[in-house]
Amino acid sequence: MTFYGYRRPDGRVGVRNRVLILPASVCATDTARIIAQQVEGAISFNNQQGCSQVAPDQQFTMDVMAGYAANPNIYGTVVVSLGCENCQMDLVVKAIEERTNKPLKQVIIQEVGGTLKAVEIAVRYAKEMVAEASMLQKEEFPLSELIVGTECGGSDPTSGLAANPAIGAMSDLVVQAGGTSILSETSEFIGAEHILARRAINKEVHDRIYEITSRFEAHFHAVGEDVRQGNPSPGNKAGGITTLEEKSLGCIHKGGHSPINAVYDYAKQVESKQGLVIMDTPGNDPSSVAAMVVTVVITIYNTTSVVILEMFNSEGKTDVKTILVNVVKNPLLQGAMVGLVFFFLGIHVPKSLLTPIAAFADATSPVALFVLGGTLHFNAIRGNLKYLVPALSLKLSEIELVKRTVKDYPVLLLDDVLSELDGKRQEHLLSEISHIQTLITCTGLDEFVNSRFQMDKIFKIVEGTVESEELCVQL
């Protein structure tokens, strides 16, 4: 079996003949798109990375960019960078040259005098490359020179019964002819990894298959989550797939029945004539990043809370030193800092500890009340039911009220705060938030009598039910 393609200077064979306009970072993406649109035969892509990345993440980005440029369907590459990103031009060029010796040009926007000049220069480079590429003639090559990658679409039960087995049959034909077929999607090996492992050519490949699937699941377990909560997707379930294992059993059919010769890390270069190989590609949920983001959000939220509470303390006096001391003493912030240390050092809390920690976390508020001397007297509750019932009803109704009135806009909730402030502090607080959509709860309107601020709506709530509302009332 043969196919028609183009032999590249590095020896690989492609079936297309394009010029790549490669943005080195997100900041150069729009410029690269403009360049590609002006040159027939040129292509580009949206690079959302390339800057503000830690070393391991940046290496993934570098590998992907170098892989795009080295792809045999590309005749040559014009790299466009802003000039100040992490993925500096010399690093990108070096990564590409380590993989291929195809034509390569570079344009740095800040060095050539801005976007317009960069577009002018890069368009000229691209047109020259397209003209050179057009001189090449397709040749006939054996199927052993072909490298194909396989990927699932929106899976349903027929994927594992028809589409994926058909792709697997194609994969087997390519492998039998001496070519290379790549099976991907590590997240959809889970539950079927033992079947793939049995087809490994040796123990090293066997162990690597188990390693990549276990590592993927471990990322979720490290933050107390389960990959099965998001996979299968709603679309998969609507089509009839019920479990991740079911989905995986369909996914692996794309690899046919050939022996598995190697497992490649994400975006690493796969050579020709390798037979069936696996590439460790990520799932949809970057769990390690999510864990870090949550920790940072907790830090920002609680630091802001401490600062605001100190600024509006009952004495009306505060200073920077007091604020900093209270920020450092805040237990939530201390916990977040410990979490960051665990994250960056790669320390994983055993699941046997996570369960009791989670149970203790749920009990922290009542435990704190008892430590502070708080006690529960049922007689006192019965004597104050006339106050407790309306108050609790109001709290429960606030959620529905927010859903009815704020829709998709951000909302600030001030829960019975103004009654604790004098008139001057009320005026100051309301002036600061006048441009923000705010829901203010109170037990009466007396505290608003002297306010000069307009309220768009006033709701009267009795025993959890919105009894009436007035629109655009000037208080």
- 334-358 b/e (C-beta count within 10 Å ≥ 16 → b): eebeebbeebeeeeeeeeeeeeeee
> Which amino acid is residue 35, in one-letter code?
I
Q: Which range among 146-155, 371-380, 385-394 shows the weakest confidence by mean pLDDT?
A: 371-380
User: Per-residue pLDDT tens for 263-306?
Assistant: 988 888 887 889 999 988 864 433 222 222 223 333 333 444 44
Q: What is the distance between the alpha carbons of residues 233 and 241, in angstroms, rounded to a whole number?
A: 9
User: Per-residue pLDDT tens for 420-432?
Assistant: 666 777 777 777 6
Q: What is the distance between the alpha carbons of residues 109 and 144, in angstroms, rounded to a whole number?
A: 41
Q: What is the distance between the alpha carbons of residues 35 and 21, in angstroms, rounded to a whole number?
A: 7
Q: What is the distance between the alpha carbons of residues 331 and 339, in angstroms, rounded to a whole number?
A: 12
Asked whether the predicted pLDDT for residue 47 surpasses 80, the reply is: yes
Output the CA torsion 80→85→90→96 (10° steps): -60
Q: Are 158 and 253 in contact (CB under 8 A)?
A: no
CB atoms within 10 A of CB 68: 19
Q: What is the distance between the alpha carbons of residues 86 and 165, in angstroms, rounded to a whole number?
A: 43
- Strand partners of residue 142: 2
User: Per-residue pLDDT tens for 104-124?
Assistant: 999 999 999 999 999 999 999
Q: Strand, coil or helix: what is 290?
A: helix
Q: Are 174 and 269 in contact (CB under 8 A)?
A: no
Asked whether the predicted pLDDT for residue 452 surpasses 80, the reply is: no
Asked whether the predicted pLDDT for residue 10 surpasses 80, the reply is: yes
Instruction: For residue 103, give every residue at least 6 positions away whose Cβ sits within 8 Å of its Cβ, in sequence order, or none.
Output: 75, 76, 77, 129, 132
**Which of the pair, 358 or 310, is modelled with greater confidence?**
358
pLDDT at 414: 63
CB atoms within 10 A of CB 460: 11
CB atoms within 10 A of CB 54: 10
Q: What is the distance between the alpha carbons of residues 119 and 121, in angstroms, rounded to a whole number?
A: 6
% of the chain residues with pLDDT over 70: 61
User: Per-residue pLDDT tens for 397-448?
Assistant: 655 555 555 554 445 666 666 666 667 777 777 776 665 667 677 666 554 5
Whole-model pTM above 0.75? no
Structure tokens at 279: 């590439």
- 193-206 b/e (C-beta count within 10 Å ≥ 16 → b): beebbebbeeeebb
Asked whether the predicted pLDDT for residue 76 surpasses 80, the reply is: yes
